[in-house]
Structure 1
Amino acid sequence: MEDAKGNGVTIAISNDPPFMKMNPDGTPGGWGPEMDAAILKEMGITKFSGEMIEGGAMIPALQSNRATLSSSGALFIRPERCDAILFSEPVSCNSEGFLMSSSLAGKVATYKDVADQGLKIGVCAGCSNQKLAIEAGVKEENMVVYPDATTAAKLLEDKRVDIVGNDSFTLSVLFKRADPAEIHFVRIANTRGCAAAGFGKANAELRDAYNEGLRKVRANGKYMEIMKKYDFEEGAHDVETASMEQLCRK
């Protein structure tokens, strides 16, 4: 904590605006880093830098201290991840979703549909959508791994994939930028999960401070102010009833 207060922290982010982005001045921006900054400032940490890291490299970056924490929206809490890093309490809860060619509207609602129809899908490296695709039986040759949401949108636009999987908030943002006559967006039923800030195993003190700061911003209204700023009120649903301990349980 003393080092973080004196020297600041490095937040790992992916190229996923407006969720996460790197500002022109080199500081991390977007919903996640803005929420992180508000939370940590409550605990006396006011210096922040950003490190752009692909999704699949987030956990190794925390383990090697390349980054102090992963931004609050970068990683969903999963039992296997809890073995590798520490998580804060949930900061947002969200479902999985698909973006697809409008020609597939009404034909694809689950990852099993993707597998059964032999469709090509873009999945985030090391993310829950990649795991769900594998578990549903999507063949390896039908999965294209992308490093960030911006690349995912480009894959779909160039017709290199039929579908893109990611969390529904990220995809809803991409959908707003797309031509609705060509692209269809769907939320996947029964896939709600919660995202949180991630920390290396040696940073328990900082993780605990983050949890205290999170409690404070929820109490003083700053949390919902940031959620509303990014039109992400739906991400606040179920957060109060979810817990890191519950989500880490196998």
Structure 2
Amino acid sequence: MLWLMRWKEAQMISRSDVLHPPMTGARRLLAVFIAGFTFASQTYSVSATTLDEAKLGGVIIAIANEPPWMKLDPDGTPSGLGPERDQAILQEVGVTKFTGQMMEFGAMIPAIQSKRATLSSSGALFVRPERCQAVVFSNPVSCGGEAFILPAALVGKVNSYRDVAEQSLKIGVCGGCTQQKLSIAAGVKAGNIVIFPDGTSGMKLLADKRIDLLAHDTATAAELQKRLSSPAVTQIIHVTDTKLSCAAAAFSKDSVELRDAYNVGLRKIIASGKYMEIMKKYGREDGADGIDKVTTEQLCTN
């Protein structure tokens, strides 16, 4: 429908040229912009929604800039723990072509809904009831908890999101992520919630003292600490007022068949040992704990 709306807009401009004096330079620029946008919208290739389409044309994986868990190689190939796991899973059901689009976490569900991406990488999004209203998730692919990265001076003083709220601390979170929701639910003031586009940017905010602490899942927090800080400067703590979270690949509501095929592939790589092989490669064996103890249906209702 978007391309139709843009086409109508372009037509309205064309008709107005007959009724009004010749366009000024600004109006010419506007017309060129709309015409170009219309053409791009009409010719834009949407991602696969069925297994047959995925086998034929491949899939587009939405990833965040969070190495080593997710990244784009120089040639545009998605890589890292999540995409490597996704590729192993989908290869089991005959999908062999993979491309990636890097984006912020909060942009992933809109990208899936608009078919600009086929799926979000398996470790990118936790399964939450509100997200289950917008997309369909695969079976859980990894599980973990919540963590804070904070200055050594705050260790022992901040253990929960409620502590953050009560002490009026500024907390860094990725936009649209679980940590943002947990902050709001605990009563952290909107002005004290600072959005960062990726973990590297978040750590820069922390180093520059523009935030008091950074929130993320345990695995990503550990990697950020290892890569960008020092235990003498910042430390990681597990958040006490949160429960186990599980991540899964997300698909559009039109892609149930492809999601089901993904689940088949996931079961196959777990049975063959390939799943644990990939997890060990990235030091994330702990992420396998819990994936067989909770279902997506349970995560979507709790």
**Please, what TM-score do these two structures have when normalized by structure 1?**
0.98
Write the distance in 2 (CA, Å) between the matches of 1:89 and 1:79.
14
Write the distance in 1 (CA, Å) between the matches of 2:233 and 2:243.
25
The answer to whether 1:29 aligns with 2:79 is yes
The answer to whether 1:186 aligns with 2:264 is no
Equivalent position of 2:29 in the other structure = none
The alignment partner of 2:224 has SS state of helix
The answer to whether 1:208 aligns with 2:260 is yes
The answer to whether 1:218 aligns with 2:270 is yes
Write the distance in 2 (CA, Å) between the matches of 1:138 and 1:208.
38
- Name the amino acid aligned to 2:156: G
Displacement of 1:187 in angstroms is 1.1
The alignment partner of 1:191 has SS state of coil
The alignment partner of 1:164 has SS state of strand
> Which 5+ residue runs of structure 1 have no aligned equivalent?
none
Equivalence map 1:92-241=2 (5 Å): 92-177=142-227, 178-189=229-240, 190-241=242-293
- Name the amino acid aligned to 1:221: G
- Name the amino acid aligned to 1:208: D
Write the distance in 1 (CA, Å) between the matches of 2:295 and 2:73.
31
Identify which of 90, 93, 112 aligns with 1:40: 90
The alignment partner of 1:119 has SS state of coil
- Name the amino acid aligned to 1:180: P
Equivalence map 1:14-25=2 (5 Å): 14-25=64-75
Write the distance in 2 (CA, Å) between the matches of 1:196 and 1:73.
6
Deviation string 1:107-155 (CA, Å, 9 cap, x unpaired) is 1110000011111110111111000000111111111011111211111
Deviation string 1:8-40 (CA, Å, 9 cap, x unpaired) is 000000001111011111111110000000000
Write the distance in 2 (CA, Å) between the matches of 1:224 and 1:66.
30
Write the distance in 2 (CA, Å) between the matches of 1:42 and 1:152.
36
- Name the amino acid aligned to 1:83: Q
Write the distance in 1 (CA, Å) between the matches of 2:163 and 2:149.
14
The alignment partner of 1:67 has SS state of coil
For the pair shown, the structure with the greater C-alpha radius of gyration is 2
Write the distance in 2 (CA, Å) between the matches of 1:33 and 1:95.
21
Deviation string 1:165-211 (CA, Å, 9 cap, x unpaired) is 11010000011121111101011134211000000000001000000
Equivalent position of 1:243 in the other structure = 295
> Which 5+ residue runs of structure 2 have no aligned equivalent?
1-50
Identify which of 66, 82, 87 aligns with 2:116: 66
User: Relative contact order: is structure 1 or structure 2 higher (C-alpha 8 Å, sep ≥ 6)?
Assistant: 1
Identify which of 73, 81, 101 aligns with 1:51: 101
**Please, what TM-score do these two structures have when normalized by structure 2?**
0.82
The alignment partner of 1:171 has SS state of helix
Name the stretch that deviates more: 171-180 or 37-46. 171-180
- Name the amino acid aligned to 1:191: K
Equivalent position of 2:34 in the other structure = none
Write the distance in 2 (CA, Å) between the matches of 1:14 and 1:31.
12
Write the distance in 1 (CA, Å) between the matches of 2:125 and 2:60.
16
Deviation string 1:208-234 (CA, Å, 9 cap, x unpaired) is 000000000000000000000000011
Write the distance in 2 (CA, Å) between the matches of 1:8 and 1:46.
6
